[in-house]
Amino acid sequence: MTARSETGHYATERGPAACLRTLAVCGTLGGLLTAVAALPLVGGAGLAAKNASGVFTDLPPAPRESLLPERTVLLDRRGRPFAQFYSQNRTIVDLDDVSPVMRKAIVAIEDSRFYEHGGLDVRGTLRALVTNTTAGSVRQGGSSLTQQLVKNILVENAETDAERARAQAPNLSRKITELRYALAMEAKYSKAELLERYLNIAYFGAGAFGVEAAARRFFSVPASKLSLPQAATLAGAVRTPYGTDPSLGDEYRQRLIQRRNLVLDRMAETGAVTRAEADAARRAPLNLRLRPEPGGCAASRHPYFCVYVHRELLTNPVFGPTRAEREHRLARGGIVLHTTLDPVAQKAAERAISARVDPEDTEVAAEAMVEPGTGRIQALAASKKYGRNDGNRKNGPRTTFNLAADVAHGGGMGFQAGSTFKVFTLATALQKGWRFNRGFATPGRYVPGSGFVDCAGRPVNDPNAEIFNADGRRSGGAYSLSTGTWSSVNIFFMKLERKVGLCPVVRTAKALGITRADGMPLREVPTFTLGINEMDPLTVAAAYATFAARGRYCSPVAIIKIIDRNGSRVPVSPTCRQALDPKVADAVNHVLSGVFSRGTMRGQDIGRPAAGKTGTNNDYTSAWFAGYTPALAAAVSVGDIRGSYRHPLRDVRIGGEYYSRVQGASLPGPIWVASMTAALRRVPATPFRAPDMSRFGGGRIPGLLKPSADDRERGNRQRGNRQGRGDGPARQRPWRNPDR
């Protein structure tokens, strides 16, 4: 067998070992072919000697390069990161953003002849082939840097475990495939492009993929700032990333030092640095500054907001037509999400809650804050620590439910909203022409036995239900829209709902974005106005924000802008509609402002114009407060995470304080006041638009010369089937409907 060298001379019958000794012949592709053809294991690799030359001349296209997985980073409205997702912790950088000494270090230790060969380091490859042939398996590397790049690409492209195993199989067939692809890659890319790709794809250990993530993970510096000792350390870690992982302890760090020193010696041998520079770097300590790079929402500073964004990415068609595509996009990462999170509002909500409810309490408080007119979510907070319970008492009880949001965004079943729903009946009455002082006398007991029809036209009456006021008095009273709202009189609102129509009230609520937390249809029953539907704070806050925005409803939004890995910027516009007559919204604001001055929140305010409504449920199963200013709306819920019906808020100790009964004004209200005061401290106070008194002013209660005086808060106490207590009923048994 003969092989022709570049000089035209022939080497006759030379074996692999002889070829290694005669580099004038074998230091070329022709010499390599001669050596390969002579190897006894070539046939076992599926390569006949007569076809050896074709293997390296009839080259395939360069391997397909999938987008490398990168981090998806969440930024608050100030541009500060607060969470990240990734399958691989990687940030792709240009070669110019990698320090020159790092480039020299990786070439010196992995492929010192990188700039001289065309993809195959013949010397190293033949040496490895001889050793591996003798051993009968792959025992020695000898791969060029380009071959290593190919291997990493094939592993990244693998979609199954079997494909991944083939890409890493210790056999000559896989090695020959790498060689062929390496030649194709060298023909396609420049050396600089190949080196850049290698530095971005390589795994360095400690969960860091790519040189940028590794520099930050090991030394808390960008790759552009790596020093000689640091660069040598990272270059040394590439060969054995799992055996030199410094996060695993001293033994691994000692191995890492050994690898670093080996790189420094090799850099001195190749002339990349002087011997003096290498010796000085050898004497330096590792000086690791391991920076944690936690991923996922459990590690986020603001986990509940993070969960909301994560679920939004997976469920919203805006981010991909199918869930599978959205999951793939999130896993591959490389996306920067500018969110609506306001760090001032978020901190205000977290502090207000933590000051009054302990994470160890079985009772939980949750709050959502929304910007009126845009729907931008500024804060999502809860009293429980987020995460899975690991049995460690030091970590305390945790939850994986996004307590401030609905099931679609990681939340639970929610709590019944209580008298916060009365606002929808109030708005409907004002829309239908009712005036502030218009009202009627109410009895001390009320039975919803007739006159209630749902939106499907079906009667939904229950003559066996009895509604009583919270204090248990059976005496009635006369109330107007204003005084009935300020005192939160349930019987008044039950009768008002009957007068204006149950379905119109339901339609008003739906127009303002009201949906159940569990995603089920709203329960259209007489006690709808008393808040028997389970809700989440975000949905309620967004509905109340509609009044602050003069009837403009905006769907809650957590993402402002998306920047993809190519730098393309995609703004996310709010989804808004005019859901309510602006003048009706002004009138609602006027009435709800009186809740602070003359109603259930009297004595509690935030030092600026505000409006809101308390909510206390049947048997004190949960309590709410929802309110707003022109600049910000928020809703707070409190209930027992173990189950609100089995564990009512009676005779409980929450946050170290004893409560005989938790009402909307006793705990959710103070949380709302504290959080809103802090969140708005740098926001100028603005008043609500004055109501149109020619349309809404005046009115009277039949039989009275003037509206009734203010009363303290009255909810409902329910007898018979327990339809209401406090601000409204907390639960409802199935309605019997004799009219059907």
What percentage of the chain has pLDDT greater than the value 70? 82
pLDDT digits (tens, 9 = 90+) for 656-695: 999 999 999 999 999 999 999 999 999 999 999 999 999 9
Using the 8-state DSSP alphabet, how is residue 536 labeled?
-
Q: What is the mean pLDDT of residues 90-106?
A: 96
Across residues 235-252, what is the average pLDDT? 94
In this predicted structure, the answer to whether residue 228 has a pLDDT above a threshold of 80 is yes
Q: Which two tokens stand for residue 663?
A: 């009402």
DSSP string, 163-201: HHHHHT-SSHHHHHHHHHHHHHHHHHS-HHHHHHHHHHH
| Long-range contacts, 126-131 (Cβ 8 Å, 24+) | 126/16, 126/19, 126/20, 126/26, 126/31, 126/32, 126/35, 127/20, 129/16, 129/35, 129/36, 129/39, 129/172, 130/16, 130/17, 130/20, 130/35
Residue 25 pLDDT greater than 70, yes or no: no
Q: Are 725 and 718 in contact (CB under 8 A)?
A: yes
Residue of 687, 727, 625 lying closest to 369 (CA atoms): 625
Q: What pLDDT, on a 0 to 100 scale, did the predictor assign at position 299?
A: 87
Angle at the Cα of 55 from the Cα atoms of 50 and 57, rounded to 5 degrees: 110
**Tokens 């509905």, located at residue:** 543
- Higher-confidence position of 657 and 128: 657
* Per-residue confidence band for 127, with pLDDT thresholds at 50, 70 and 90: low
Run of H or E including 11: strand 10-12
Residue 726 clears pLDDT 50, i.e. is over it: no
Q: Give Rg (Cα) of the chain.
A: 36
For residues 206-216, give the mean pLDDT. 95
When comparing pLDDT for 572 and 26, which is higher? 572
Question: Which range is most confident: 182-191, 294-303, 329-338?
Answer: 182-191
Cβ atoms 47, 129 nearer than 8 A: no
pTM over 0.85: no
Q: What is the pLDDT of residues 361-375, one digit of tens each?
A: 999 999 999 999 999
DSSP category for residue 528: G
Q: Is 50 exceeded by the pLDDT of residue 10?
A: no
pLDDT band at residue 295 using 50, 70 and 90 as cut-offs: confident
Q: Give the mean pLDDT of 83-106.
A: 94
Task: Read off the amino acid at residue 610.
Answer: A
Is residue 705 predicted with pLDDT exceeding 60? no
d(CA 489, CA 599): 11
Report the phi/psi class of residue 142: left, alpha or beta, with left for phi > 0 and alpha for psi in -120 to 50.
Answer: left
572: its two tokens: 């996310």
User: Using one digit for the tens of pLDDT, what is the confidence trace for 277-289?
Assistant: 999 999 999 999 9
In the structure, what pLDDT confidence band is assigned to residue 41 with cuts at 50, 70 and 90? Answer: very low
In this structure, are residues 549 and 470 in contact, taking their beta carbons and an 8 Å threshold?
no
Question: 């609506």: which residue's tokens?
Answer: 340
Beta strand pairing call for 552-554 and 576-578: antiparallel
Ranges for all domains in the chain classified under CATH 3.40.710.10: 415-559+574-719
**Which of 230-234, 571-575, 642-646: highest mean pLDDT?**
230-234
Mean pLDDT, rounded, for 217-245 = 96
Paired tokens of 591: 């009435």
**Residue 38 — pLDDT band, cuts 50, 70, 90?**
very low
Q: What is the pLDDT, as a whole number, of residue 434?
A: 97
Q: In angstroms, rounded to a whole number, what is the distance separating the alpha carbons of residues 368 and 625?
A: 11
Cβ atoms within 10 Å of 209's Cβ, excluding its own: 28
Question: Which pLDDT score is estimated for 466?
Answer: 84
User: How far apart are alpha carbons 316 and 69 in whole angstroms?
Assistant: 21
Average pLDDT over residues 151-156: 90
Closest to 452 measured CA to CA, from 524, 523, 526, 522: 526
Q: Where are the beta strands (DSSP E) in 87-222?
A: 203-205, 208-209
What are the CA-CA distances from residue 49 to residues 33, 42, 121 (Å)? 9, 7, 21
What letter represents residue 134's amino acid? T
What is each CA distance from 182 to 32, 125, 195, 198, 392, in whole angstroms? 15, 13, 13, 12, 51
DSSP letter (8 states) at residue 261:
H
CA distance 428 to 581: 11
In the predicted model, what is the mean pLDDT of residues 286-297? 88
The predicted-structure confidence for 562-592, as pLDDT tens digits, reads as follows 998 888 898 988 999 999 999 999 999 999 9
CATH superfamily of 89-283: Biosynthetic peptidoglycan transglycosylase-like (1.10.3810.10)
Residue 474: predicted pLDDT: 53
Give the mean model confidence (pLDDT) for residues 225-253. Answer: 95
CATH of the domain spanning 415-559+574-719: 3.40.710.10
Q: What share of the chain is helix, strand, coil (3-state, %, to 5)?
A: 40, 15, 45
Q: Are 309 and 339 in contact (CB under 8 A)?
A: yes
Least confident of 234-238, 242-246, 388-392, 597-601: 388-392
Distance CA 266, CA 268 (A): 5
Confidence check: pLDDT of 128 > 90? no
User: Long-range contacts made by residues 657-663, C-beta under 8 angstroms, separation at least 24?
Assistant: 657/356, 661/620, 661/726, 662/363, 662/616, 662/620, 662/623, 662/638, 663/614, 663/616, 663/620, 663/623, 663/713, 663/715, 663/726, 663/727
CA atoms within 13 A on the CB side of 17: 4
Question: Torsions phi, psi of 105, nearest 5?
Answer: -65, -45
157-172 per-position pLDDT tens digit:
887 777 777 777 776 7
Alpha carbon distance 737, 464 (integer Å): 10
263 with 109: CB under 8 angstroms?
Answer: yes
**Distance of alpha carbon 507 from alpha carbon 513, whole angstroms:** 10
CB atoms within 10 A of CB 276: 9
Q: Which amino acid is at 646?
A: R
DSSP state of 646: T
The tokens for 444 are: 């001390």
For a pLDDT cut of 90, what percent of the chain falls above it?
63
Parts of the chain belonging to CATH 1.10.3810.10: 89-283
